[in-house]
Amino acid sequence: EAQVTQNPRYLITVTGKKLTVTCSQNMNHEYMSWYRQDPGLGLRQIYYSMNVEVTDKGDVPEGYKVSRKEKRNFPLILESPSPNQTSLYFCASSFLGTGELFFGEGSRLTVL
């Protein structure tokens, strides 16, 4: 089954404790992206990647890091989480040229 898989789905952590949200897709997509969704703000792009070893900042990259060492994986790293990073995070992927993003089910992160 074609899918984008995120882990963990739910996480409660404390300020400053490094965490990684994993994202994996099995559709051989070149493009992958991370978004955060906040009430009243819609979805905002954090980082994206057009291919292996190619990443770029989105609209709200501060406090986040990403890497793209393999085509299928695109982890989101919070080196020192803060309460304002409490949000619902989505990973998405697509073939370049289609515009059709496939989304994971989301990871709800709470930073205390």
- Contacts with other proteins, residue ranges (CB under 8 A): 4, 31, 33, 35, 40-45, 48, 50, 58, 90, 92, 94, 96-106
Closest alpha carbon to 66 in 49, 81, 80: 49
Closer CB to other proteins, residue 23 or residue 79? 23
Closer CB to other proteins, residue 48 or residue 74? 48
Shortest Å distance, C-beta 73 to other proteins: 17
Shortest Å distance, C-beta 7 to other proteins: 14
Shortest Å distance, C-beta 43 to other proteins: 4
